[in-house]
Amino acid sequence: MEKMQHFSHKHPLQLKQEYKNNSNMQVFCSGCENPISGAVFVCDGCNYVLHKTCAESAGHVRHPLHPEHLLTLLATSPYEGPYICDSCRGVFSNFVYHCNLCGYDLDVSCASQCKPDDGHTHDFVSITNPQPVVCYACGMQVNEGLASLCIICQIWIHSSCAELPLSIRIKDHNHPLKLTYSLHQVYGFWDNIACGVCDEAMNPTFAGYFCSTCKFPAHLKCPKQFVREELEAVTEDEDHEDEESYDSYDTEETLDIHFTFNFFGHEHPLKLVEKESDLQYFDKLCDACILPMEPPFLCCEKENCGFFLHRSCAELPRMKQHPFHAHPLTLECKAPYDGIYRCDGCRTLSNGFVYRCDVCQFDLDLCCGSLQERIEHESHMHPLFLRKTRVAKQCKCCHLWTKLVFECDVCEDFVIDCGCADLPSRAWHMYDKHPLSLNYFVKEDVREYECGICNEKMSPKQWFYYCDDCDSAAHPYCVVKPRHVKFGGSFQYDVHFHPLALVEETEQNTECEACGERCKGLTLECDQCKHYFHREGQCFWKEFKKSAKYLGLSGMMRHRYAANVLASTPNVTTK
């Protein structure tokens, strides 16, 4: 019986082709934290279980999402609390591929989705690079502009690096040299490699030429002056081994309020409404920030179009640098897929405009994208500063972990996240006729409260809304729903042959046509058939994974597409 001593556990692990669970409890892998299936390595005495694939994960990887440095596999989070995957934004506690220099983290599932070093032939296409990245071949910066992207594994390289010959012969060496983007697979990560041409050191994390017969190495550029001939690609047998463009306007200029004008994110002309002469706009929402309309605002001239825009939203910069992200964020009128996304700042669902980094799939709604970098908050005596911390920290309000916070420079342990910082001090709810006040502290002698909305117990250390008249309390996010969604519109989903509109949960018993369960929360409606479908939960996620577009993608492109939709789908767990 095969055994292994894994670095994550003190006892030897035994290989089993199938794990027999003697209890009714579902068992999760101690590495990736997903349900156990297939072959596993087990310590029976400790109930420690690893998928075979997790147990055999590489100790170090070079990943195209972070090509600057190696990522090292750790058994547990390197921080005091859990870590947040910088790809899927999931929260994990166990196995993590970690960069100690940058604080960059990938869970093992995300790290395994893209394998640029798996031996496939890279299929490079010329494409406009939206922001600077590191070339996967030479390690130098690829500036904005035309670059080359492998459509299989999503690595970026210079256009000149993409044109390097796959095999060459040089003077004074009898064997052909082959191009590899993975020198570390030939020489290892930690070997000291010296170029056979210039005798200078080589970085094994990037590309180079090597001789498969005698392991002669060479820099990408060094062989040029000694090239005898360029060869056709050496086969494995021989070697034995899109951007949509928009019209834009200068947001620094004053809008001409006497005329209609075109906005880059809408197909029809817009007119300016400076005063509400009647009540026709009182229940309308801005398509950008999904907040109620107040003059001055813009509306579409075309009847029944229903497009509205605060003038302040129309004047937002098309691109901005934000403290939460290293790359510039671009203002987009619609997020990928059906336009619904989850803000990485406040975790709120929205289908409004988004400040987005497409390479990193980083999204901020307009509220978080426009936050001031210094605020005064009534919950704390000192000013709070907006920043991305190196390690995840626990919010004082909701006790969730995040790196995107308002932080006190005086009190090291005082942190609140963006969503909690924006909670109103007074709020109303349909179950209470009185205004509710946001409470930040609870006296020790006060009894424990039960949320008057969800009926669950409340932690005395967390913020809560309280009604003095009724002596009742509620969780903040039971009172203030964490979503900014404008209902209506339509989108062609794969689950149905007609376009479906996003509608609010109805009181009537509407059954999902896909799973037969009642539709709760975000719901999709076909106006022609009067059929309903879930837009959240496991049902929607399962149907999405059957879609033609998802199945038509592969590698990192499929993973990124799925991660986008998963992030915007409430009440889904992949465990």
Beta strand 201-202 pairing with 193-194: antiparallel
> Is residue 148 assigned to a domain?
yes
232: CATH = 3.30.60
With bands split at pLDDT 50, 70 and 90, how would you rate the model's confidence at 256? very low
Query: What's the pLDDT score for residue 42?
Result: 92
> Is residue 199 assigned to a domain?
yes
Residue 190 or residue 157, greater confidence = 157
Taking residues 50-63, what's their average pLDDT?
Answer: 86
136: closest CA among 154, 120, 114, 152?
Answer: 154
Judged by DSSP in three states, 364 sits in strand
**How many domains is the chain partitioned into structurally?**
5
Query: What DSSP state is assigned to residue 235?
Result: P
> Is residue 134 assigned to a domain?
yes
Residues 458 and 514 in one domain: no
Residues 68 and 133 in one domain: no
Residues 154 and 168 in one domain: no
Q: Which two tokens stand for residue 181?
A: 């983007």
Question: Can you tell me the distance from the alpha carbon of 275 to that of 56, in angstroms, rounded to the nearest whole number?
Answer: 66
Could you give phi then psi for residue 101, rounded to 5 degrees? -75, -40
Could you give phi then psi for residue 394, rounded to 5 degrees? -95, 125
Taking residues 110-133, what's their average pLDDT?
Answer: 68
> Is residue 471 assigned to a domain?
yes
Q: Which of 192, 210, 239 is the last residue of a domain?
A: 239
> Is residue 4 assigned to a domain?
no
With bands split at pLDDT 50, 70 and 90, how would you rate the model's confidence at 245? very low
Beta strand 401-408 pairing with 415-417: antiparallel
Q: Which of 83, 113, 143 is the last residue of a domain?
A: 113
339: closest CA among 348, 325, 349?
Answer: 349
Q: CB of 421 within 8 A of CB of 409?
A: no
Residues 219 and 183 in one domain: yes
Give the chain's mean pLDDT. Answer: 78
Residues 467 and 492 in one domain: no
> Is residue 369 assigned to a domain?
no
Of the segments 109-118, 128-137, 168-177, which one has the largest average pLDDT value? 168-177
Query: What's the pLDDT score for residue 296?
Result: 79
> Is residue 384 assigned to a domain?
no
Q: What is the DSSP annotation of 109-157?
A: HHHHH--TTSSPPP-EEEEEESS-EE-TTT-SEE-SEEEEEETTT--EE
Taking residues 263-279, what's their average pLDDT?
Answer: 70
> Is residue 118 assigned to a domain?
no
Q: Is 155 exposed, middle or buried (0-12, 13-18, 19+ CB in 10 A)?
A: buried
Q: Is 440 left (phi over 0), alpha (psi -120 to 50) or beta?
A: alpha
Residue 27 or residue 244, greater confidence = 27
14: closest CA among 51, 46, 42, 52?
Answer: 42
Q: Which domain holds residue 139?
A: 124-161
Q: How far is CA 363 from CA 89, 102, 196, in A?
A: 11, 20, 46
Out of 115-129, 386-400, 472-486, pick the least confident: 115-129
Residues 72 and 96 in one domain: yes
From first CA to last CA, the distance across the chain in angstroms is: 29
pLDDT, tens digit, 9 for 90 and up, residues 488-527: 878 888 778 888 888 876 666 688 888 888 887 788 888 8
Query: What's the pLDDT score for residue 192?
Result: 72
pLDDT, tens digit, 9 for 90 and up, residues 376-395: 998 999 999 998 888 888 89
92's CB contacts (< 8 A; 6+ apart) are 33, 77, 82, 83, 84, 85, 107
Residues 66 and 129 in one domain: no
Taking residues 5-24, what's their average pLDDT?
Answer: 84
Q: CB of 378 within 8 A of CB of 425?
A: yes
Whether 479 has a pLDDT exceeding 50, the answer reads yes
Can you give the pTM of this predicted structure? Answer: 0.59
Q: Which residue has the tokens 């229940």?
A: 283
Residues 431 and 503 in one domain: no
Element (H, E) at 53: helix 52-55
pLDDT, tens digit, 9 for 90 and up, residues 307-333: 888 888 888 888 888 888 877 888 888
Q: Which of 435, 450, 479 is the last residue of a domain?
A: 479
Could you check whether the bond before residue 223 is cis, i.e. omega within 30 degrees of 0? no
Q: Which two tokens stand for residue 415?
A: 């942190």
Of the segments 139-148, 183-192, 207-216, which one has the largest average pLDDT value? 207-216
pLDDT, tens digit, 9 for 90 and up, residues 538-560: 778 777 777 777 777 665 556 66
Q: Is 3 exposed, middle or buried (0-12, 13-18, 19+ CB in 10 A)?
A: exposed
Residues 154 and 136 in one domain: yes
526's CB contacts (< 8 A; 6+ apart) are 496, 498, 499, 500, 501, 532, 533
With bands split at pLDDT 50, 70 and 90, how would you rate the model's confidence at 242? very low
- CA atoms within a 13 Å half-sphere pointing along the CA-CB vector of 210: 20
Residues 495 and 561 in one domain: yes
CB atoms within 10 A of CB 86: 21
Could you give phi then psi for residue 162, rounded to 5 degrees? -70, -20
Query: What's the pLDDT score for residue 390?
Result: 81
Whether 19 has a pLDDT exceeding 90, the answer reads no
Query: What's the pLDDT score for residue 553?
Result: 66
Residues 458 and 500 in one domain: no
- Give the residues across from 48 on adjacent strands: 43
